[in-house]
Amino acid sequence: MAEGVGRQQRAAVPAGQPGLDKPIYTISVASEILETHPRTLMMYENMGLVVPQRTTTNRRRYSQRDIFKLQTIQNLTRNHGVNLTGVRYVLSLMKLLYQHGVQPPEGLRDVDVSQLEP
Confirm whether pTM is higher than 0.95: no
**Mean pLDDT of each 10-residue bin along the chain, 118 residues long:** 43 65 96 98 96 97 97 96 96 94 93 85
Q: Give pLDDT, residue 5.
A: 43
C-alpha distances (whole Å) from 90 to each of 25, 40, 108 are: 26, 19, 9
Looking at 3.30.930.10, 1.10.1660.10, 1.10.260.40, 1.10.10.10, the CATH number of the domain 27-104 comes to: 1.10.1660.10
Q: What is the pLDDT of residue 84?
A: 95
**pLDDT at residue 13 in the model:** 54
- pLDDT value at position 48? 94
